[in-house]
A and B are shown apart, each in its own frame.
Chain A
Amino acid sequence: MVFWERLPGEMTMKLHYEVPGNDFTRAGEASGELKLKLKRLGFSSDVIRRMTIAMYEGEINMAIHAGGGVADVEILPDRITVVLTDNGPGIPDIEQAMKEGWSTAPDNIRSLGFGAGMGLPNIKKYTDMLDIKSVVGEGTSLTMTVLAG
């Protein structure tokens, strides 16, 4: 779903994606689509790569741990913000989850090439701003921004 909103003095594009939780092979479709859109809008390859890698990692996390969720994207000329929201089990210890190599992913996910404990560290590495809100038993929300200025 795509729609443009005219704000005072600038143009904003808002996108909304459903991230499936029952089919791991489809995780990443949303970030793949976002990548194509950002290319068409003329963002630099560095900005596109950082934003879509971070979103992709987030999508994978939602598919592995939370049974899917939603992604809301806001694109402005000088920044892109992606908000990933799920109703999964939540993250009991965010500080621990941010450590490289820390993972609670099951073995079947590791056999697919993920679950190395690099998801959140990679997201932090590639974004300019990252805010994680999580409530155990209720869900998690990641707000990640990449500056394009």
Chain B
Amino acid sequence: MTIADVRDILEAEVISGEGHLDTEVHNACGSDMMSDVLAFVKDQSVLLTGLINPQVVRTADMMDMVCIVFVRGKKPGDEIVTLANDRKIVLMNTPHRMFTACGLLYEAGLRGGN
């Protein structure tokens, strides 16, 4: 699926990176612990998190993740948006909670990888 599909499935609002919505995504990872995310290496992944700080973007960047979804409608500050734009990472937020957001993507065929 594409990042645009992720947006539609999660009823999400795109915060930045509108120009990259046709990028394909193959896996997803949901976590508020960035240390755990750093143990997860998959190409073209989506990160779902409830954490809002610049390290979320840095972590996603290190992992070559292409999209970050903030759950429960959380909105990142300007510093985070600027960093994500610089790294060409799409930011969006969904009104859904973490469990539901992960479930919706799983139901639509996205997997977490091995």
Chain A residues proximal to chain B, CB less than 8 Å:
24-25, 27-28, 31-32, 35, 45, 49, 52-53, 56-57, 60, 112-119, 121-122, 125
Contacts and interface: CB of A to CB of B under 8 A. Distances in A.
B53 A116 contact: no
Contacts of B21: none
B35 A115 contact: yes
A122 B64 CA distance: 16
B75 interface: no
B64 A45 contact: yes
A25 B39 contact: no
A44 to B, nearest CB: 12
B36 A35 contact: no
A106 B35 CA distance: 15
B34 A114 contact: yes
Interface of B: 32-36, 38-39, 41, 49, 51, 53-56, 58-59, 61-64, 79, 87
Contacts of A57: 35, 38
Interface of A: prevailing SS: helix
15 contacts: A24-B55, A25-B79, A27-B55, A28-B55, A28-B59, A35-B61, A49-B41, A49-B63, A53-B41, A57-B35, A112-B55, A113-B59, A114-B35, A118-B33, A122-B38
A53 B63 contact: yes
Contacts of B63: 49, 53
Contacts of B58: 28, 31-32, 56
A122 B55 CA distance: 17
B64 A116 contact: no
B27 to A, nearest CB: 14
Contacts of A25: 53-55, 79
B53 A112 contact: yes
Nearest to B37: A113
B100 to A, nearest CB: 21
Top 6 A-B pairs ranked by shortest CB distance?
A113-B34, A116-B35, A118-B35, A28-B58, A25-B54, A113-B51
Contacts of A121: 39
A31 B41 CA distance: 17
A113 B56 contact: yes
Contacts of A27: 55
Contacts of A115: 35
Nearest to A48: B64
